[in-house]
Homo-oligomer: A and B are copies of this chain.
């Protein structure tokens, strides 16, 4: 293995490790002229509301820039779910497994319950069963009040708009509101080949997280709310959570740049394409995927010796367990990097097999 020459390390740990798109950085700099009303009273934040409305084809929409995806998800869910309620989500959902109990805190003790389903997607029958498992009106049991979908899922798969609509319909028929964790929403839209409206407004969501940071943004994600009855809750809850930036124009500028002229979709397309190239290369090597990658995230079988060899070969990635590793591409991952990564896998794999 000593003969492997590493020209540079290839970043596959996370799209969070990537930099900021030039257009976004430029927008931050451009926002910096003169003074502006604080706490969202500025012109850029006003423009952001218009742009989101246009982008998602919604008639009523409110937009709440916050500084992380965790904030976007948990504050939205706190506005949607009473303290004595339960949020149903997939067993692998980020809100259940990776946000440190943020939703339980912000809701005042609501419970998150994992629902099963293949390919990290909730199965409609499992959803019906999970809802039926709780007797309505019985205070012994936290009452299901919100369905939260993650798209792309934490395993790199996506829902189609039809799949979202089906689940939303089941939820709504039992009085649950519908939330979507869209930390990588653009990657899902591109993967599905649909319009932004189709996967959100058209699929029956009440609220969704609009991710920007993982997709070439810097420090602004947003809650997008399609149900005006929740606006009052969001107004007060975002503030008391410390998520209303005083100089909000710099956050709004990032989100505006993202949505302008489809930049967010192009950035996502770049990441998804790089993953497709990588997956193509790896498939040719017989690599086994835990799930077929649909967007910009792949989970692959790799025992520790192989993982060590990949590390030595200059790949940066996360080890999920002793047998599974994760690759994530970003808007900064070039096709050359993707091809190179596959080639390095081939060499590393061969070296381990020796």
> Which residues of chain A have a CB within 8 Å of any CB of chain B?
11, 13-14, 16-20, 25, 28-29, 32-39, 66-72, 74-75, 82-84, 86, 97-102, 104-112, 137, 139-143, 213-214, 218-219, 233, 235-247, 250-251, 316, 330, 332
Contact = CB atoms under 8 A, between A and B. Distances in A.
B244 A139 contact: yes
B71 A20 contact: no
Q: How many copies of the chain does the oligomer comprise?
A: 4
5 contacts: A17-B35, A35-B332, A70-B240, A97-B141, A104-B110
Q: Which 5 pairs show the lowest CB-CB distances between chains A and B?
A: A71-B242, A105-B109, A139-B239, A84-B236, A108-B108
A25 B29 contact: yes
A142 B101 contact: yes
B244 A98 contact: no
Given A17-B36, A107-B109, A139-B244, 4 more contacts: A14-B246, A67-B242, A67-B243, A104-B111
Contacts of A33: 19
A219 B84 contact: no
A105 B244 contact: no
Contacts of A13: 35, 37-38
A105 B14 CA distance: 32
Residue from A66, A139, A143, A245 whose CB has the most chain B CB atoms within 10 Å: A139
A97 B36 CA distance: 23
Contacts of A86: 101
B242 A243 contact: yes
Contacts of A108: 83, 105, 108-109
B34 A240 contact: no
Contacts of A29: 25, 29
Contact of A99 (B25, B66, B240): B240
A143 B334 CA distance: 38
Nearest to A70: B242
Nearest to A234: B139
A84 B102 CA distance: 9
